[in-house]
Amino acid sequence: MGATLKDATAIVGIGQTPFAKRLPESEKALACRAIIAALDDAGIAPSEVDAFASYTMEETDEVEIAKSIGAGDVTHFSRVGFGGGGSCATVGHLAAAIATGQASVGVAWRSRKRGSGPRPWTSTRVQLPTPAQWTRPFGLLRPADEIGMLARRYMHEYGATRDHFFNVALACRNRANQNPAAMMYDRPLTREMYMTARWISEPLCLFDNCLETDGALACVVVSAARARDCRRRPVYVHAAAQGLPAQHHGMVNYWNDDPLSGPAWTAARHLWKGSDLGPQDVDVAQIYDAFTPLIPLSLEGYGFCGRGEGAAFTEGGALEIGGRLPLNTGGGGLSEAYVHGFNLIIEGVRQLRGTSTAQVPGAATCLVTAGEGVPTSALLLRS
Amino acid sequence: MRADHSRPTGPATGPADPSVTVRDSMTTSLPPDTDTPPDPAAGLLLPVPDDDGAPFWEYAARGELRVQTCADCDEPRFPPRPCCPHCQSFGARWQRMSGRGRIWSYVLAHPPLLPAYAALAPYNAIVVELAEAPRIRLVGNLVAAPDAALNSVDPARLRIGAPVKAVFPTPPGGPTVPRWMLERP
Ligand SMILES: [Zn+2]
Query: Is A254 an active-site residue?
Result: no
d(CA B71, ligand 1 centre) in Å = 7
B26 touches chain A (CB under 8 A): no
User: Residues A142-169: pLDDT tens digits?
Assistant: 999 999 999 999 999 999 999 999 999 9
A143 touches chain B (CB under 8 A): no
CA distance A21 to A113: 8
Higher pLDDT, A130 or A58: A58
pLDDT exceeds cutoff 70 at B56: yes
pLDDT exceeds cutoff 80 at A256: yes
Short-list A190, A287, A289, A273, CA closest to A238? A273
Domain boundaries, chain B: 54-182
Least confident of A9-18, A53-62, A129-138: A129-138
Chain Cα centroid distance, residue A37: 20
Domain boundaries, chain A: 9-117+211-382
CA distance A159 to A136: 29
User: Residues B3-17: pLDDT tens digits?
Assistant: 334 343 333 333 333
Short-list A19, A58, A69, A14, CA closest to A37? A14
Short-list A116, A99, A97, CA closest to A108? A97
Q: Which of A194, A236, A288, A302 is catalytic?
A: A288
A123 touches chain B (CB under 8 A): no
CA distance B43 to B55: 23
ipTM value for the complex: 0.95
Per the prediction, chain A carries an average pLDDT of 96
Using the beta-carbon criterion (under 8 Å), do A138 and B107 form an inter-chain contact? no
State the pLDDT at residue A59: 81
| Burial environment of residue B3 by CB neighbours within 10 A (0 to 12, 13 to 18, 19 or more) | exposed
Q: Give chain A's end-to-end CA distance (angstroms, integer).
A: 25
Chain Cα centroid distance, residue A343: 7
CA distance B48 to A133: 5
pLDDT-above-70 percentage for chain A = 98
What's the gap in Å between the CA of A369 and the closest CA on chain B? Answer: 26
Q: Which of A55, A194, A302, A338 is catalytic?
A: A338
What's the gap in Å between the CA of B121 and the closest CA on chain A? Answer: 10
Class of domain A9-117+211-382: alpha beta
A126 pLDDT band, cuts 50/70/90, is: low
Which of A124, A130, A133 best probes binding to B when mutated, by most B CB atoms within 10 angstroms?
A133
> What is residue B71's three-state secondary structure?
coil
CA distance B127 to B145: 18
Name the DSSP class of B45.
Answer: B
Q: Give chain B's end-to-end CA distance (angstroms, integer).
A: 50
A245 touches chain B (CB under 8 A): no
Query: Is A154 an active-site residue?
Result: no
- Report the sign of the C-alpha dihedral through residues A68, A69, A74, A77, in that order: negative
Long-range contacts of A307-314 (CB under 8 A, 24+ apart): A307/A261, A308/A157, A308/A158, A309/A158, A310/A158, A310/A160, A311/A154, A311/A158, A311/A159, A311/A160, A311/A161, A311/A164, A312/A164, A314/A164, A314/A167, A314/A168, A314/A171
Least confident of A78-82, A170-174, A267-271, A330-334: A78-82
CA angle A378, A272, A109 (to 5 degrees): 20
pLDDT exceeds cutoff 60 at B22: no
CA distance B44 to B50: 19
User: Residues A309-339: pLDDT tens digits?
Assistant: 999 999 999 999 999 999 999 999 999 999 9
A128 pLDDT band, cuts 50/70/90, is: low
Contact at 8 Å (CB) between A28 and A214?
no
Give the residue-averaged pLDDT of A116-134.
78
Using the beta-carbon criterion (under 8 Å), do B106 and A201 form an inter-chain contact? no
